[in-house]
Amino acid sequence: LDLLKFTNDEKDKLNNKTIYLGLDYIQENQIKIEDKLFKAYYGSNPPKRLFYDVTSSYVTGDYDDSELVAYGYNRDKKKGTQQIVIGLLTDENGHAISIHTYPGNTNDISTFTDQLDKLKNRFNLDSITIVGDGGMIKSEDIIKVKKLGYDYITSIGKPSIQKLIDNKDSQIQLSLFDEDLQEVIENDTRYIVRQNPIRRDEIRQTRESKIARLKEFIDMKVEYHNTHYRAKQETVEKHINKKISDLKLSKFISYKITHKDGEIVIKNKDGNEEFKTKALITIEIATNEKVKKEIEQLDGCYVVTTSLTDTTKHTKEDIHQAYKTLIKVENAFKMLKTEFLEIRPLYLKTDKRIKGHVALSMLAYNITLKLKSYIHPF
């Protein structure tokens, strides 16, 4: 076509139509494209481990007819915006294997079964270790993983760690948590335990910073109450209780209010100043040091769990490093969402094209990753 024959508006329409047709094609053939690329990339030597994580990407505009765009847990911290959910599967080098677009209200955990089905039925993998975040791989998923003959590497949260410590039959105790990696094998599960001293100090510093912010907030509320005649104590308490809850300090922080009559200056109806008596308040913070120290015991502590119990084939350092490699999936999301590939913002109004746009972004990410390896080979 000789584009010189078209006006600028006609060129834009033609370009948009070409883009839309391309996105439609990619969406319709995404599975074939991914399968073909997987075979071309790995051939008869499939990866031993794959890494999976989920993110969300917010959208703006009118998507009333969309089954994908919905309100859900927003990782972008964009309150009041709808979103889509994206699941990404990569290898240990960060190379993207497959991407899937889910409705914005999809729970992360519910996407994991799809990945298992994909590994078994599409990529025909008989043996694989899948690595996922602790919020992703739950006990019921572990059962599915084992039934397929696969292995897993994940982590557990602080409540589960505390439960293990409290269990008298478990070998996992607080004394095991050290800067050096330690391991315990119980009930066909291998636990790699560690306390990160840098992270421990960061958490404690953040906690002390929150307490300082709470004190400043209380001082501000007390000053306002004591200088405004109509200000009510119950309003002050309501605000302080919410602040303590928001800062997650309620387990070990409380406060006490005392009263003392005093005079404050107000303006009467004539605009003149006069003195009035009011019950002035003083608020003191109380810290339950015993509870606080109990909480601090697990600062910086984490536990990586795996079904790879053969210590001769897989060292604890290897498993620990594999879990840390999940950061490459997070880096992939960063490149897709906030760097120059920019999945968002979305201007596409059909679910088919949204899926095509996300799939195309994954292909562009792999090209970018390869180009970066040439620029920064080491």
Top-confidence residue, 350 or 246: 246
Structure tokens at 1: 């076509």
State percent of the chain over pLDDT 70: 93
Structure tokens at 80: 């009041």
Predicted confidence at residue 2, as pLDDT, reads 46
Distance from C-alpha of 12 to C-alpha of 257, rounded to nearest angstrom: 67
Tell me if 13 sits within 8 A of 3, measured CB to CB. no
Residue 243 has pLDDT above 60, yes or no: yes
- Alpha helix segments (H runs only) across 299-350: 316-324, 327-337
Residue range 323-351, pLDDT digits in tens: 999 999 999 998 888 766 778 777 777 88
Predicted confidence at residue 376, as pLDDT, reads 65
Predicted confidence at residue 13, as pLDDT, reads 53
Residue range 1-14, pLDDT digits in tens: 344 444 555 445 54
Residue range 149-205, pLDDT digits in tens: 999 999 999 999 999 999 999 999 999 999 999 999 998 999 999 999 999 999 999
46 prior amide bond cis, ω within 30:
no
- Mean pLDDT confidence for 57-68: 84
Residue range 63-112, pLDDT digits in tens: 888 899 899 888 877 788 889 999 999 999 999 999 999 999 998 888 89
- Mean pLDDT confidence for 26-46: 91
One-letter amino acid for residue 98 of the chain: S
Distance from C-alpha of 149 to C-alpha of 79, rounded to nearest angstrom: 41
- Mean pLDDT confidence for 125-136: 90
Distance from C-alpha of 35 to C-alpha of 236, rounded to nearest angstrom: 61
In SS3 terms, 263-296 reads as EEEEECCCCCEEEEEEEEEEEEEEECHHHHHHHH
Give the containing element (helix H, strand E) for 58: strand 49-59
Among 206-210, 322-326, 367-371, the range scoring the smallest mean pLDDT is: 367-371
* Residue 356 C-beta-side C-alpha neighbours within 13 Å: 18
Distance from C-alpha of 132 to C-alpha of 146, rounded to nearest angstrom: 15
Q: What is the dihedral of CA 137, 54, 194, 190, to 10 degrees?
A: 20
Distance from C-alpha of 111 to C-alpha of 97, rounded to nearest angstrom: 16
Q: What is the mean pLDDT of the chain?
A: 88
Distance from C-alpha of 115 to C-alpha of 331, rounded to nearest angstrom: 20
Distance in angstroms between the alpha carbons of the first and the last residue of the chain = 45
Q: Give φ, ψ of 272 to 5 degrees.
A: -90, 150
